[in-house]
């Protein structure tokens, strides 16, 4: 799935979860979600501003997950310690709001947060829940 916002592009991908630590970290809320954030240096030359953009995206992601109810199937899978696929979401900054004009930092933050909130809400409502197939040698 690919979603396009005013400032961000969001794509998802699935990868098999091999690390038990990743399941343990998210076992408290029953989620196997990760976010990857890409902010190009050519778009935002200042490291301070790049880190600000990443922090805003992380805050929006956590808020979106907190507002989203935990799906029963995900919770059961974590409780049974079934291997699930980790859902990775890549969000990439495609345009920085302060590139042409220099609006205040508060205006830039509000614009980025609003776009990230809208993308994450759409993404979390539309994404499929995928489960990995059991091993061929194991019995159900």
Q: Which residue has the tokens 């592009």?
A: 9
Count CA atoms closer than 13 A to 123's CA, side-chain side. 28
**Looking at residue 55, what is its pLDDT?**
97
What pTM does this model have?
0.70
CATH code reported for the domain at 2-126: 3.30.230.10
Residue scoring higher pLDDT (98 or 138)? 98
Summarize the confidence of residues 98-108 as an average pLDDT: 80
Confidence of residue 139 (pLDDT cuts 50, 70, 90): low
Summarize the confidence of residues 50-61 as an average pLDDT: 95
**Looking at residue 124, what is its pLDDT?**
86
Decide: 9 and 2 in contact? Cβ < 8 Å.
Answer: yes
């Amino acid at each position: 799935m690919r979603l396009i916002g005013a400032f961000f592009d969001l794509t998802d991908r699935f990868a098999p979860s091999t690390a038990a630590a990743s399941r343990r970290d998210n076992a408290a809320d029953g989620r196997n979600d990760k976010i990857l954030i890409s902010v190009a240096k050519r778009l935002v030359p200042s490291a301070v501003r790049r880190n600000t953009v990443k922090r805003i995206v992380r805050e929006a992601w956590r808020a979106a997950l907190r507002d989203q109810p935990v799906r029963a199937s995900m919770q059961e899978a974590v409780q049974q310690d079934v291997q699930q696929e980790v859902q990775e979401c890549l969000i990439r900054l495609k345009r920085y709001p302060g590139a042409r004009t220099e609006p205040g930092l508060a205006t830039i933050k509000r614009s980025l947060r609003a776009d990230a909130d809208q993308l994450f809400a759409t993404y979390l409502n539309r994404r499929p829940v995928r489960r990995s197939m059991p091993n061929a040698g194991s019995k159900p």
